[in-house]
Chains A and B, each alone.
Chain A
């Protein structure tokens, strides 16, 4: 069990359209890695029998809420966990309905990898394209296309190859650094955890093996040092009387004691005195560590400020150009609309200056001349903020390049944005 204490973590999202076997695939991964427990299995068997089904429906495992069980649908992002001796996995399981683009964006925002399911009988359909577009928009570095239900197309290599060609043709207009194609049968388990005996022509790995071994070490930014201050720690007692530390999570680059740093927005420069944790001081701090920094000089610093390196600074400005996905069914994003924008640990007011275009997520066409974005619509938008932000492009850094918009009146999160 020693290796179990020291595993990497891989977060992935699963996307597919209705009935293409996504829930069955997740059930299969959890079942074959022995993550499903006896009492869960007994509960599944009972529910399946009650509904008059002959086989145990693995999909029932992922339907959590009463309405979902009654209607046989998935309402919201659900998170699932399983582990193998190699890695611990977090799955963001998102529904495939047309109206739920919002959920896929949400699930993808914290993922390293996307698994996109395609029904071998249907091939690449509109929803497949939408899923691929969202994976690319959210800059997932790895996309695995699982061509499912191969058992229903006689395990045909030419069907598989045709779908791979179609997908690649569409994806050539996107930016997906790594694409992998795997023919599977989630229902029967072929190429999910165990290699299929029916497809000798397939020379690649199983899905699980791929998930266990895909290299994710370079996904985080270790180049541009960014430390948004979350909280100021001032014990004001005893031995720590004069301690003034800045708590936060490193969102990019590497910080070391003695490094020169610049504080934004004030622009003052100083040096890092020490990097503290309750377990001792660190020689260096990098993403995703949560630490406390002390500085050589006394500078007025508070939540929302950012520590960076003098020779590697983010953009500083009030005009943002971003891709925005609208989440609210009750309101629309309108030109001249005002919102609260959250970026790292900073809240500012923001005004919509221009909606440049909306993206038709099925054809990737830009629709110009639009004056609003409605639920699940994605578009390029220009915002003006009330005070400057310190940001990078989302392409360069997911943490310092992302924002959410909050409705001032309902307090709802109404949009997610990626800075261009």
Chain B
């Protein structure tokens, strides 16, 4: 052949970029940790980490910030994956933060442990001496995240200062820091929701069953479908309905909305994502608290 084609499709491009970022993290930091929520994005990051260091094991532990308000399916899934990878799992518990008096539980019908996670996360980072926390956040998710870096600096209070971010040029990532500071690192920065689903399909990745359509008791609140779980209080006038739903994101059970869906396999989920007219985080009560809810949480040290 005279002219060999060196074109690489977008998924392979994104994959090799993420693997590069993961290897830079291992090389530039003393004690990285991979934040694992059991959601599809962190499953993809974990798979990429497996690829980046293969045939060696992933050279850092996984950490789950556990609100205690989980979907059972997520925890079973997490434990299975960690076992297969022979990885080390650190669980940072919001319940323990509450018990130790580090945070106070929210009250009322919309109570959620979402905001409390920040304290638990920062405490765990300090306790274990982690200097880089890898996460599955993507820039297409939300407008404050659109301004994130691959290597995102946090000061010694764990805070993000969007006006004082380091410029990120070519693929030269600057992870230098003073003691007490740390970095959040986002290998999936350039991925979209569609890319993540396509990659899950291409790689044949397992994901928790709640991403596929199933029958579930839900409550309609502020235009969202919330799963009826022991952690959600049903208010007067609210009705519990049995509906066929699936989740587009998997966070804390108290603030993750479901969508009506008949998609029971990856192809039908991908078709639904392609046709979707509401953003992925449109079903997240935590983002709905104000126009700049995500920015405010990120500034104080959220994921």
Contact = CB atoms under 8 A, between A and B. Distances in A.
23 contacts: A5-B9, A9-B9, A37-B277, A37-B278, A39-B282, A64-B147, A64-B295, A67-B163, A79-B139, A79-B146, A110-B169, A234-B56, A235-B56, A243-B55, A249-B20, A254-B4, A278-B51, A279-B51, A289-B8, A290-B23, A327-B167, A402-B170, A416-B169
Contact of B291 (A43, A231, A289, A343): A43
A5 B202 contact: yes
B176 A249 contact: no
A343 B171 CA distance: 10
B7 A217 contact: yes
A404 B172 contact: yes
Which of B20, B147, B172, B198 lies at the interface centre, i.e. has the most chain A CB atoms within 10 A of its CB?
Answer: B172
B163 A83 contact: no
Contact of A64 (B4, B143, B202, B278): B143
Given A79-B190, A230-B24, A290-B23, A278 B54 contact: yes
B200 interface: no
A288 B17 contact: yes
B277 A64 contact: no
Interface of B: 4-17, 19-20, 23-24, 26-27, 50-57, 139-140, 143-144, 146-147, 162-163, 165-172, 174, 176-178, 189-190, 192, 194-195, 198, 202, 270-271, 274, 276-279, 282, 291-292, 295
Given A278-B51, A413-B174, A416-B167, A39 B23 contact: no
Contact of A75 (B19, B50, B162, B177): B162
Interface in A154-176: none
Interface string A60-77: 000111110100000111
Interface in A186-228: 217, 220, 222
A75 B13 CA distance: 28
A270 interface: no
Given A66-B295, A79-B139, A404-B172, A1 B9 contact: no
Interface in A1-48: 1, 4-9, 37-40, 43, 47
Contact of B178 (A243, A290, A342, A411): A411
Contacts, number: 187
Contact of B53 (A8, A80, A233, A412): A233
Interface in A265-315: 276-279, 286-290, 292, 303
Interface string A233-253: 111100010010101110000
A80 B23 contact: no
A345 interface: yes
A355 interface: no
B80 to A, nearest CB: 19
A167 to B, nearest CB: 26
A1 B275 CA distance: 11
A399 interface: yes
A406 B270 CA distance: 43
A290 B19 CA distance: 7
Interface string A106-146: 10011000000000000000000000000000000000000
B27 A413 contact: no
A261 interface: no
B174 A411 contact: yes
Interface string A76-111: 111111010001101000000000001101100110
B6 A217 contact: yes
A94 B109 CA distance: 42
A413 B177 CA distance: 11
Q: Which 8 pairs, one residue from A and one from B, show the smallest C-beta to C-beta distance?
A: A64-B143, A290-B19, A278-B54, A411-B176, A290-B16, A235-B56, A39-B282, A109-B169
A2 to B, nearest CB: 11
B299 to A, nearest CB: 9
Which of B139, B143, B163 lies at the interface centre, i.e. has the most chain A CB atoms within 10 A of its CB?
Answer: B143
Interface string A172-185: 00000000000000
